[in-house]
Chain A
Amino acid sequence: DAEITQSPRHKITETGRQVTLACHQTWNHNNMFWYRQDLGHGLRLIHYSYGVHDTNKGEVSDGYSVSRSNTEDLPLTLESAASSQTSVYFCASRRTAEETQYFGPGTRLLVL
């Protein structure tokens, strides 16, 4: 079955380390998104992509980067992890010209 997956599901890292969170979807959706979820803040958009080689900054993009080399994957990189980046990260995808986003299972990241 087509799906959207994230890995790892849980990650503990240290301040200053580079961390990459993976997102993979098999729906062939052009549009992919990364959100972070923090208590009291809901879901905030980090980066998004409308297709291969396209990336755009969202509301809270500082300290994060993404790359889109194929349709299926949008990895999220924390260049130098900070304690403020401790959060739950959700990837989502959507078919072009449709409104509904589908979320991955999430990655819980702890930065010590």
Chain B
Amino acid sequence: GENVEQHPSTLSVQEGDSAVIKCTYSDSASNYFPWYKQELGKRPQLIIDIRSNVGEKKDQRIAVTLNKTAKHFSLHITETQPEDSAVYFCAACASGGSYIPTFGRGTSLIVHP
């Protein structure tokens, strides 16, 4: 089955800095890669996703890149703000697996004012 590794487990940055979270996956059949943000005590919520037919996707201050050859994808947050503090999860899904995501273990992002 799919295995998703996520690093780092904790990331501490100063407000205004950039943050990068990296994930690797093992199943070459995976073709959909969502990222979820989970604030303390809340549910995970989708913030951005990317499909295997594109290499990069941006939405304001967040972007995701995908390298299919190396089987890794990354979340980039620019100009971080305290409200970006949360746990971020990456996931990988294969359409052949009926889009059941395998999640990484999460990254706790702390943005210091």
A interface vs B, CB < 8 Å?
Answer: 31, 33, 40-45, 48, 50, 90, 94, 98-106
Known: A33-B100, A43-B44. 18 other contacts (CB 8 A): A31-B98, A41-B105, A42-B89, A42-B106, A43-B89, A43-B103, A44-B103, A45-B100, A50-B98, A90-B43, A99-B93, A99-B99, A100-B34, A101-B34, A102-B46, A103-B36, A105-B42, A106-B43
How far, in Å, is B97 (CB) from chain A's closest CB? 11
9 residue pairs, one from A and one from B, having the closest CB atoms:
A42-B105, A103-B43, A43-B103, A42-B103, A99-B32, A99-B99, A42-B106, A103-B44, A105-B43
Tally the A-B contacts, defined by beta carbons under 8 Å.
42
Q: How large is the interface on B (under 10, 10 to 19, 20 to 34, 35 or more residues)?
A: 20 to 34
Smallest distance from the beta carbon of A102 to chain B beta carbons, Å?
8
- Nearest chain A CB to B7 CB, angstrom units: 13
Q: Mark B68-106, 1 if CB is under 8 A from A, else 0.
A: 000000000000000000000100010000111101111
CA distance A106 to B93 in the complex (A): 22
> In the assembly, what is the distance between CA of A48 and CA of B101, in Å?
12
Q: Which B residues form the contact surface with A (CB < 8 A)?
A: 6, 9, 32, 34, 36, 42-46, 49, 89, 93, 98-101, 103-106
Of B42, B45, B93, B100, most buried by chain A (CB within 10 Å of CB) is B100
Chain A, residue nearest B4 (CB): A42
- Are the CB atoms of B43 and A101 closer together than 8 Å? no
Chain A residues with CB under 8 A of B46: 100-102
Complex CA gap A45/B36 in Å reads 16
Q: Are B45 and A103 in contact (CB under 8 A)?
A: yes
Query: Within 8 Å CB of A104, what residues of B?
Result: 43
